[in-house]
Structure 1
Amino acid sequence: MIKVLFVCLGNICRSPIAEATFREIVKQKGLADKIECDSAGTAGYHIGQLPDHRTMKNAEKHGLKLTHKGRKISLTDLDDFNHIVVMDEQNFEDVYELYYKTKHQPPAAEKVFLLRDHDPETRGIKEVPDPYYESEPFFEEVYQIVWRSNEVLVEHLIDKYHLLATD
């Protein structure tokens, strides 16, 4: 089983929608028995809470129901997940530092990376913008970014692990 963890700051906006879109793409490709995912935050601000209501509203508009409850990334996540996919540079640094302090070596580029490393429309921008302090239309922009990035990420994992859909 390939395990992917999506990480942002509070685990209520970007990482839950990244988790949900990734899960949907994996399901559509018939790979739910081969790839699983979760999400977490680098901060513990929203542990146990559902995602931001605007994230949930946007997800529902696209046929996704979010039930994830916020949690903070743990030391066991570093071993439990094959890939830790981070939304922005600051949280990438936080995850990288946590990994380095725990493992006494830097993570491999395939272990910890930015989601937009897989965005076909990145235009040099490497971060998924945080919509928390923005209006509802900004949540749609974030959805579009994570959807297209996850489409490419899933294809990358299919190639990397030589995965075939279940017939």
Structure 2
Amino acid sequence: MNDLRRVCFVCLGNICRSPTAEAVFRHLVEQRGDAKEWLIDSCGTGDWHVGSPPDARALRALKDRGYACAHRGRQLCDADFTRFAWLLVMDNANLSTVEQRAPQQPHARIHKLTEWDPQGTSEVGDPYYGGESGFTTVLEQIERCCTAFLAREFP
């Protein structure tokens, strides 16, 4: 496995945005035919949903677009900073938390996923307190970002 092909997506609770990004990214590399070369995961900065499946609305949005997701929530841990080459966070609060928890010289590159959004958005908003349409909007944004990240960083 290429050292750089280790990606972990990070959000607050690991039940909406980051498992969505994990499912989308996994699908993209499977389509490319190089899924075996990747380590792909997701986690949350908080521990509220450890062991829980993704939010039902996130699962519906993914299923409606043909994505599979069998993830169970987990919390960011110290090992993630060396296990992964990329920690891709969803918003400024996630970025701040992850940077504060990082060792002095983390192995992982820590970035907001939206750095690769062709539409120039600054964050992937948390759809948790909104309706179904918010999950579709987030999924579309994540699709754009993951597609661009993969194309730019791993052509």
**TM-score, normalization: structure 2?**
0.94
Matched residue, 2:41: 38
Alignment of 1:63-142 (within 5 A): 63-99=66-102, 103-105=103-105, 107=106, 111-122=109-120, 125-142=121-138
- CA distance in structure 1 between the aligned counterparts of 2:72 and 2:136, rounded to whole angstroms: 21
In structure 1, runs of 5+ residues without a counterpart are 160-167
Structure number, greater radius of gyration: 1
Is 1:154 paired with 2:150? yes
The alignment partner of 1:33 has SS state of helix
8 Å Cα contact 1:23/1:36 also seen in 2: no
Identity of aligned residues (%): 38
Code of the aligned partner of 1:72: Q
**TM-score, normalization: structure 1?**
0.87
Displaced runs of 4+ in structure 1, greater than 2 A? none
- CA distance in structure 1 between the aligned counterparts of 2:139 and 2:152, rounded to whole angstroms: 20
Is 1:10 paired with 2:13? yes
Is 1:145 paired with 2:141? yes
Q: Deviations over 1:146-165 (max 9, x none)?
A: 00100011112314xxxxxx
The alignment partner of 2:36 has SS state of coil
Matched residue, 2:27: 24
8 Å Cα contact 1:89/1:127 also seen in 2: yes
- CA distance in structure 2 between the aligned counterparts of 1:156 and 1:23, rounded to whole angstroms: 16
Q: State the number of aligned residues.
A: 152
- CA distance in structure 2 between the aligned counterparts of 1:84 and 1:55, rounded to whole angstroms: 21
Structure 1 residue 12, shift from structure 2 partner = 0.2
- CA distance in structure 2 between the aligned counterparts of 1:72 and 1:35, rounded to whole angstroms: 20
Matched residue, 1:163: none
Q: Deviations over 1:86-142 (max 9, x none)?
A: 00000100001111xxx224x58x7000000000012xx310010000000111000
In structure 2, runs of 5+ residues without a counterpart are none
Greater shift in the superposed pair: 5-14 or 23-32: 23-32
